[in-house]
Structure 1
Amino acid sequence: MQKPDSLIFDMDGTLWDAVDTYAYSWNLVFNEMGIDKTITRDVLAGMVGMEGKKVIEILMPEFDHDKRVAIYSTVNDRRHNLIREKGGILYPGVREGLKQLAEHYPLFILSNCAKGIIRQFIDWAGIDDLIKDELAHGVNFMPKNHNIKLLMDKHGLQNPVYVGDTAGDGEQSRLAGIPFVFVSYGFGTTDDYDLKFDDFTSLVQYFVNL
């Protein structure tokens, strides 16, 4: 692979696992609203990386669109505080690895999450000084390939790579015209990648030594 000029990271399943906190936020809001429904970790883990619109269609087929959006908005409001309190699990080597990578590349985070969640993650993980910029699906409700191009244009990136953990991440990278680096320890599987790593430390060593 040609040496990239920047690394753009997916968040959930790539840098951390916060599915338990996400599930808790759903169930908290359902309970508050008197909705007899429980979301399990397994169900939510299978949806990591999906755009919010698709998630709420699957999770709440019994409600109309406006009701789904209203519930999802409340869930995301709760999530801001819950991430501060409960956080998630950083994958091994992520904090130290980002520190090493930031000495060699501008680092970005781009996720299909709601607006504000990436910032909550950055603050919780204590990596603000390592991340040059971030962009969430919830800012403009556009697909990842569009938002990758926005980051490229905004920062003048000529040769970025996208690092993610799902087949969807690979598809969106292709649509954006950039290489896809797959991390196999996350929530998805795919055979369509330019590079694959089974742990974050191996990824760091590769790009630091490239």
Structure 2
Amino acid sequence: MQKPDSLIFDMDGTLWDAVDTYANSWNLVFEKMSIQRVIGRDDLMQLMGMEGKKLTKVLMPNFDEDRAQGIYMDVNETRRQILPTSGGIMYDGVTEGIKQLATKYKIFILSNCAVGIIPLFISWAKIEDDITDSIAYGQNNMPKHHNMQLLIDKHHLKHPVYIGDTNGDAEQTRMAGIPFIFVTYGFGKTDDYALKFDDFKSLTKYYMSL
């Protein structure tokens, strides 16, 4: 595998854990709409990384598509409102590691989240000066492999890698034709990777040593 010129990171399960805040955003909307449903952390853990349209079908199977989509948009707006104060838990070594890696590589974030969530994460992590660009599923409702290609084309990347935590990430990265780097501490499992790391500090050390 060639030395990369850029590192494209997944967000949830790779850089931080904001599942409790995400669950709260669902529950606030359900409460407001008098929907007798409570979403727990475990409910969302199995769905992390899933595209929005698929997510709504799993969480709201009894609602027609338009109503489910409307609720989902309300959830995302609520999420944008509460994230700046509720935030999430940064994985050990991420903030310092991103700052180090940005001195050597172009750093990107690509996530299957709604519009506006990645900037809130970047602000929470205080890494505004370290991220070259980002793209979210909510910007175009396209799968990750498509959005990887958009970043590659826009920034003329020669040897990017995608770093994520689920088998879905591995599959999408393979479709994009670039190496997948697996972090084992996140939300998923896979055997399909070029490299794996058990913590962010070892990932940082490896890429800083190349």
Report the TM-score, using the length of structure 2 for normalisation.
0.99
Q: For residue 123 of structure 1, what is the amino acid of its counterpart?
A: S
Q: Give the gaps of 5 or more residues in structure 2.
A: none
Number of residue-to-residue matches in the alignment: 210
Establish whether residue 176 from structure 1 lines up as the match of residue 159 from structure 2.
no
Residues 143-164 of structure 1: CA distance to partner in whole angstroms, max 9, x if unpaired?
0000000000000001100000
Question: What's the secondary structure of 2:128's corresponding residue?
Answer: coil
1:60 aligns with 60
Residues 55-113 of structure 1: CA distance to partner in whole angstroms, max 9, x if unpaired?
11000001000000000000000111111010000000000000110010000000000
Q: For residue 28 of structure 1, what is the amino acid of its counterpart?
A: L
- Distance in 1 (CA, whole Å) between partners of 2:20 and 2:196 is 26
- Distance in 2 (CA, whole Å) between partners of 1:68 and 1:85 is 26
Superposed, which structure 2 residues align to 1:89-104 within 5 Å? 89-104=89-104
Query: Percent of counterpart pairs with the same letter?
Result: 63
- Alignment RMSD: 0.5
1:118 aligns with 118
Superposed, which structure 2 residues align to 1:104-183 within 5 Å? 104-183=104-183
Q: CA deviation at 1:125?
A: 1.2
Q: CA deviation at 1:135?
A: 0.0
Residues 101-147 of structure 1: CA distance to partner in whole angstroms, max 9, x if unpaired?
00100000000001111111111111110100000000000000000
- Distance in 2 (CA, whole Å) between partners of 1:131 and 1:111 is 14
- Distance in 1 (CA, whole Å) between partners of 2:125 and 2:70 is 29
Question: What's the secondary structure of 2:48's corresponding residue?
Answer: coil
Residues 144-192 of structure 1: CA distance to partner in whole angstroms, max 9, x if unpaired?
0000000000000011000000001000110000000000000000000
Q: Give the gaps of 5 or more residues in structure 1.
A: none
- Distance in 2 (CA, whole Å) between partners of 1:202 and 1:74 is 39
- Distance in 2 (CA, whole Å) between partners of 1:95 and 1:125 is 6
Q: CA deviation at 1:198?
A: 0.3
Deviation beyond 4 Å, 4+ runs, structure 1: none
Establish whether residue 197 from structure 1 lines up as the match of residue 200 from structure 2.
no
- Distance in 2 (CA, whole Å) between partners of 1:2 and 1:157 is 13
Q: CA deviation at 1:2?
A: 1.3
Report the TM-score, using the length of structure 1 for normalisation.
0.99
Residues 39-69 of structure 1: CA distance to partner in whole angstroms, max 9, x if unpaired?
0100101111110111110000010000000
- Distance in 1 (CA, whole Å) between partners of 2:89 and 2:8 is 20
